[in-house]
Structure 1
């Protein structure tokens, strides 16, 4: 498709992951039917489509990692795996009739606001253009793989790939494998790779706080009870939510709760690792919660295997045979896996977003993305972000944040669609006041502590995480407050 579609949609959602599909389902429930979901891939799922490495799973309990109006009643275990989570999203498409709204293979290159027509034009790589009153950007925070630019990477004669682009065609049995990175992704695939590789070397930049996952597989009777009486599921879901909400105190600096978190992580480490030298390497030297808190029952045991080595010296360069570390040692490998995370600050990837007077979103943000409620940005009318700046969580399910955003955005889209002369542009003063408060609160949080974290930019400003609890965010986003938006005198398009 290369011709312009002249139809003007009420909204276009960018992305068909948890955020995009949830917004579409919310629209359907609110009676909004004139919308599209544009997805660059060939299937739904977002991170659960892309991340298919061995052991891929969610480290948040599945009962709270789903929408309140579409419970994952067929979930098989407390911490669901990648296939099960993608299956949930596919079921969501069917349940809410989203298939007719989704266009796959749509690589969006730019979006432009036309103030005279009060419309957005969405451009795709194949030359297509779509017109819409509102744009809902559900591109997420973790969609662009981050691969460090080590000297000599092009000289390596083996195979190297990022964990989100797992080479399922490559048999790692008997191979000498390196994992560059030891955080959220690595703790899941390292135990699996360790079972088949001849040698596995894990390169760790800094240790992580790891708590027990305590995986629980539901019995057939329990699964049947969930489906026959969803209230039993809801009760357990609410208990987990309240427990996780209480855990927010652990992320606040110098509190008894944070000390409790340190102690739980220490006990877990000491229970599973007896070697004092290895334990020392695996002991964090920063505040609990400064980095993402991990959950695993099998990562530490994997590191104690005879064929697994943990290396804490920094990598200085790649060589044809492997990598060299700061101590001068060359480590030889057949395969190198990057568990180096994502470009978490590149919210819009390579897409050009042009607002009022052609002003670019990248220009507005610089290295410090911010938005009102993580949703609205001044100079960008009718643009709404899902999982935007300062809406990530460390203590609870981010899906609960998404659901709050979806309801708020649906109110905004309905308001705009009711009159073609309407548009919503958040007041710059509102954005600044809101974010000043968020940043002030974050100073009390371990997120602002002294450690290297994807939560922060190079200046130390926390730009990914929310400063409070889910309930506090729900309160902020419960109702669309029109006074937060510019009340302009124009009475119609172009006037």
Structure 2
């Protein structure tokens, strides 16, 4: 006789910051019957995948950790990839998550079973998991994007995306192209420039860059953090407050925005003396419309004799190189795509089916939306981590996710206590919320005239939150059971919307 799958309190998809944090918070709340499904053979999410030279976080490490698990062994203000991966592995060990993580479990479908009030989640290997709550935590930057340039299939050199760096390729002396010049590229370009024989950086548009001003913590400072965590927390509060105040920089025509522009221009002028190059590197759009980047090394790398910045558009690939729209052909041995991610693939390519057989693809179309990035009407007991309109440009996304985890833990606790409960946000609530979000975003630089990964093809900002972290925390804490069609958060068993 074939036994039916165990019914878990929650099924979490993804073992990066979002999924591991959700699991840790469930454990802290005394909820241990959950599973974390991870498609890769190791945990870590973006900090497992992005191993390109120079990979590091551009948010201060002091605030890029969970409040209940501070990164007391931090070695520098802006940690590099191996250290961040190590933090996540330590988090998993501290909260006994390893036994609940199923590596190599690529989720292909998740289906709401109306008659049972459960989610059925299936993997590529044919495994089936049942859960009262379904927690997608695959993030916004997990699916690499590579443009489809004409002639790419005929290129005889080596090509790879920065998130899938080919460490078997020795770049020493080679002719290397970097297509892209944003968050990842400003980190790997300085490293590649020192190794490659020739490096050509193809720039579609310039970015606003601010100094990173890296600070390395010596052994005494680190011992101080560990001996007295209150010292770490005081620094965390200081940085968090400073970053929160910085949100005014992405509002239209504020004095803070003008200050940001002045700082970025001063950084450019201090590091780039060539006026022609400086002009190419000067943005022609509003400060904050795109992600604001931090680096001390990118501009100096562009001034090296073996580095060229190209601003002409790419017309096509040839078998041995790239032709730009002005007709010039440059020969390359290696092409690196620093072209970002499919940031609006919030469901990571899997089929998620809610009530009445409606898929999340059908519900969203090209405009993903959710109630505070957490809930989607018609998809009961599903709680997103880092969902639509919860990304930030001014502060740590880890803090935002911690707020989301707290809401999710409370929801899972209710489902444990009331197994027949259906928590499904009202459609009118989602519509009203997102109308408000879009109205507020109209007052920010995110909605101004530039091309950014924050927007869909129609120009709607679908990734970013419109305010500060503390405004989000306050709003999520005020979510009412009436928003989900419930009289209270403690309805009778079997209550449903």
Shorter-chain TM range is over 0.9
- Residues of 1 paired with 2:112 and 2:55: CA distance? 39
Residue of structure 2 in register with 1:44 after alignment: 43
2:422·2:495 contact (CA, 8 Å) conserved in 1?
no
Alignment of 1:181-200 (within 5 A): 181-200=180-199
Partner of 2:269: helix, strand, or coil?
Answer: helix
Residue of structure 1 in register with 2:435 after alignment: 436
- Residues of 1 paired with 2:264 and 2:4: CA distance? 55
Do the aligned partners of residues 185 and 478 (structure 1) sit closer, same or farther apart at CA in structure 2, a change above 3 Å counting?
same
- Residues of 2 paired with 1:401 and 1:490: CA distance? 31
- C-alpha deviation, 1:79, in angstroms: 0.1
- C-alpha deviation, 1:491, in angstroms: 6.3
User: Does residue 1:415 correspond to 2:414, yes or no?
Assistant: yes
Residue of structure 2 in register with 1:86 after alignment: 85
* CA-based RMSD: 1.4
Alignment of 1:90-489 (within 5 A): 90-478=89-477, 481-487=480-486
- C-alpha deviation, 1:493, in angstroms: 9.2
- C-alpha deviation, 1:366, in angstroms: 0.4
- Residues of 2 paired with 1:134 and 1:486: CA distance? 18
For residues 425-462 of structure 1, the C-alpha deviation after alignment (integer angstroms, 9 at most, x for no partner) is 00011111111111000000000000000000011100
Do the aligned partners of residues 333 and 27 (structure 1) sit closer, same or farther apart at CA in structure 2, a change above 3 Å counting?
same
2:42·2:103 contact (CA, 8 Å) conserved in 1?
yes
- Residues of 2 paired with 1:92 and 1:285: CA distance? 42
For residues 83-130 of structure 1, the C-alpha deviation after alignment (integer angstroms, 9 at most, x for no partner) is 000000000011000111100000100000011100110010011110
- Residues of 1 paired with 2:28 and 2:451: CA distance? 42
Query: TM-score w.r.t. structure 1 length?
Result: 0.98
User: Does residue 1:35 correspond to 2:53, yes or no?
Assistant: no
2:418·2:494 contact (CA, 8 Å) conserved in 1?
no
Residue of structure 2 in register with 1:65 after alignment: 64
Do the aligned partners of residues 124 and 4 (structure 1) sit closer, same or farther apart at CA in structure 2, a change above 3 Å counting?
farther
Aligned length: 493
Do the aligned partners of residues 459 and 4 (structure 1) sit closer, same or farther apart at CA in structure 2, a change above 3 Å counting?
farther
| Superposition misfits of 4+ residues, deviation over 4 angstroms | 488-491
- Residues of 2 paired with 1:494 and 1:16: CA distance? 31
- C-alpha deviation, 1:494, in angstroms: 10
- Residues of 1 paired with 2:142 and 2:359: CA distance? 20
Partner of 2:383: helix, strand, or coil?
Answer: strand
2:418·2:492 contact (CA, 8 Å) conserved in 1?
no
- Residues of 1 paired with 2:257 and 2:85: CA distance? 34
- C-alpha deviation, 1:5, in angstroms: 5.3
- Residues of 1 paired with 2:492 and 2:75: CA distance? 55
- C-alpha deviation, 1:318, in angstroms: 0.4
- Residues of 1 paired with 2:349 and 2:3: CA distance? 22
Do the aligned partners of residues 155 and 5 (structure 1) sit closer, same or farther apart at CA in structure 2, a change above 3 Å counting?
farther
